[in-house]
Amino acid sequence: MSTGLSAIAVKLATLSSNARLSDLALFMTEGQVARAKKIRSVLGHLAPGVYLIGAGPYTQGVHSLMCDEIVIGRLATVLEEPLDRPVDVFVNDATTLTPREVSRVHCVIYRREGVTKHDYWILDKGSTCGTYLNHELVSAPTSSDEEDISLASRALSNGDIISLGKSQINNFVFVDTRI
């Protein structure tokens, strides 16, 4: 059985590497101008609102932020016990079927009523590899005290880059089409 599992592990590792290299080759062949044109088309079709748009290989997608709180994280692997906590946006950075940088409950984006519109904030939830806003580490609160949470939170603005982990692989862009 062990020999069979080793062969399957090698096969999965090879397929995974080849798939990523093929994807990268297609990505590079298309060219930045063509990709930007397609992305501009997608952005032009978004209804007025607030969105989190995945820009990394494991974060692709458009996620509406039209609720009070969005939790970003990942599912438990087969080596971990599931958490009894909801996650709204899943990142699958488990390239070897084990996670690399994304915690199961990594960060949260929440909104507060502002003066003229809702304001959006990001808060690290004690992630292992950190949450970065425009390449700067967002500190996790040291307690569940409302004042501590408020001090640790960072305001989000249109075009901000959110990265889960310092490698900058798992990225999102905060997009506000209300302005």
Q: What is the 3-state secondary structure (H, E, C) of 136-178?
A: EEECCCCCCCHHHHHHHCEECCCCCEEEECCCCCCEEEEEECC
Mean pLDDT lowest among 83-92, 123-132, 146-155: 83-92
Q: What is the DSSP letter of 46?
A: P
Residue 115 has pLDDT above 70, yes or no: no
* Segments making up each domain of the chain, as ranges: 48-176
Q: Which residue has the higher pLDDT, 41 or 113?
A: 41
Can you tell me the mean pLDDT for 16-24?
A: 86
pLDDT at 118: 66
Confidence of residue 17 (pLDDT cuts 50, 70, 90): confident
Q: What is the DSSP letter of 58?
A: T
Can you tell me the mean pLDDT for 6-32?
A: 87
Q: pLDDT, tens digit, for every residue of 55-71?
A: 888 888 899 998 899 99
Three-state secondary-structure class, residue 91: coil
Can you tell me the mean pLDDT for 128-146?
A: 95
Q: What predicted TM-score, i.e. pTM, was given to this entire model?
A: 0.85
Q: Name the packing angle between helices 32-44 and 2-30 (round to 10°).
A: 90
- CATH number for 48-176 (one of 3.30.70.100, 2.60.200.20, 2.40.160.10, 1.10.10.10): it is 2.60.200.20
pLDDT at 129: 95
Question: In this structure, what token pair is assigned to residue 168?
Answer: 């900058």
